[in-house]
C-alpha cells in the first residue's frame, strides 16, 4: 500500500487532520502551506513540510515510515539539517514521524537519543491512537489505513457515514470519499464493485477517478479473457484487436501466452 502517497493526499487536502493528529487545534491549519520538498544536492525528499505563513510559528517536517529501516534516523535528521542549511528560514522547527506501530520504529537511536527525547521530535504510532467513530474524522481515517484487512470494510462503514454527516462542502465530501475508496482498494485489491457499491452510493462511485479506472480495468480484463476463445474460432489477431478495440500488441502477447 502506497502509504506515503495516501498521507500526502490526506494532509494536502485536509491539513486540519495533521494538527488533530499532533494534538493541536485543527484551526492552526489555516496558518500553513503543505508540500513535499527535495534537497537536490543529495536527492533527499522529505515526505511533507508544513510551512508557516508567519515566522512565529513552527515548521513541521513530516515523515511517514511504514517499513523498518535501521538507517531511518540518520537519513531523517540529515534531510532536515541539510534543508535548513540551504534555506534562510527564521522559524523554529519540529519533526513528526508517523509509524504504524512501535515494531517498525528503528532501534538504532544511540546517536540521536537527545533529539528524540526533546520537544523537537514527535513520534506517532497509529495503532495506539483512539480511532473510534466518536473521535476526530481525520484520526478515524488514519486508523483505517493500518486496520487489519479482515476488519477494513467494517471499519470504513461508520467513517463513510461520518463523512456524509460532517462534511457539508460537497466538493470536500467527494474528495474524502474518493480517498477512502482508494485506501480500501489498496488494502483489499480483490474487493469487488458490488462490495464498494454497498458502502458508497453508486452516484458517489461514478464520480470518482479510481472507480472509473477500476471499471475500465474490468472491461480490459473481460476483453483479454475473450481472446483465447476468439483465436479458437479461427479469427486473425488483427480482426480480434479491431473487434475488441485493443492494441494489436496486447492481442499478440495473449496469443503467445496461450501457445505455451
Cα–Cα nearest to 46, from 13, 102, 104, 7: 7
Residue 215 pLDDT > 60:
no
For residue 188, the model assigns a pLDDT of 77
Phi and psi angles of residue 5, each rounded to the nearest 5 degrees, phi first: -65, -40
Please check whether residue 53 is in contact with residue 31, taking contact to mean a CB–CB distance below 8 angstroms: yes
**pLDDT (mean) for 179-187:** 82
For residue 115, the model assigns a pLDDT of 92
**C-alpha triplet 85, 59, 67: angle, nearest 5°:** 85
Which stretches does DSSP call E strand in 65-192? 93-99, 121-125
Phi and psi angles of residue 245, each rounded to the nearest 5 degrees, phi first: 60, 45
- List, in order, residues 6 or more apart from 220 with CB less than 8 Å away: 246
Residue 260 pLDDT > 80:
no
Q: What are the tens digits of pLDDT across the range 46-91?
A: 889 999 999 889 999 999 999 999 999 998 999 898 888 888 888 9
For residue 221, the model assigns a pLDDT of 62
Amino acid at each position: 500500500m502506497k502509504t506515503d502517497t495516501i498521507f500526502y493526499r490526506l494532509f494536502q487536502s485536509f491539513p486540519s487532520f495533521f494538527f488533530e493528529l499532533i494534538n493541536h487545534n485543527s484551526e492552526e491549519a489555516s496558518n500553513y502551506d503543505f508540500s513535499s520538498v527535495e534537497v537536490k544536492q543529495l536527492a533527499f525528499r522529505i515526505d511533507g513540510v508544513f510551512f508557516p505563513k508567519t515566522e512565529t510559528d513552527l515548521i513541521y517536517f513530516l515523515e511517514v515510515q511504514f517499513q523498518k529501516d535501521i538507517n531511518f534516523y540518520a537519513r531523517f535528521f540529515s534531510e532536515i539539517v541539510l534543508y535548513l542549511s540551504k534555506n534562510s528560514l527564521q522559524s523554529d522547527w519540529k519533526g513528526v514521524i508517523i509509524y504504524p506501530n512501535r515494531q517498525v520504529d528503528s532501534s538504532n537511536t544511540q546517536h540521536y537519543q537527545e533529539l528524540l527525547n526533546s520537544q523537537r521530535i514527535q513520534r506517532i504510532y497509529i495503532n495506539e491512537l483512539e480511532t473510534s467513530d466518536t473521535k476526530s474524522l481525520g484520526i478515524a481515517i488514519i486508523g483505517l489505513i493500518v486496520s487489519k484487512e479482515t476488519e477494513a470494510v467494517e471499519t470504513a462503514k461508520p467513517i463513510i457515514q461520518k463523512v456524509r454527516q460532517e462534511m457539508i462542502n460537497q466538493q470536500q465530501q467527494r474528495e474524502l470519499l474518493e480517498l477512502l475508496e482508494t485506501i480500501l482498494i489498496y488494502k483489499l485489491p480483490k474487493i469487488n464493485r458490488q462490495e464498494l457499491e454497498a458502502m458508497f452510493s453508486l452516484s458517489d462511485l461514478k464520480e470518482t477517478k479510481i472507480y472509473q479506472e477500476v471499471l475500465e480495468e474490468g472491461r480490459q480484463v473481460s476483453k483479454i479473457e475473450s481472446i483465447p476463445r476468439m483465436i479458437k474460432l479461427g479469427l486473425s489477431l488483427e480482426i480480434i484487436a479491431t473487434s475488441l478495440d485493443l492494441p494489436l500488441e496486447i492481442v499478440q502477447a495473449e496469443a503467445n501466452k496461450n501457445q505455451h
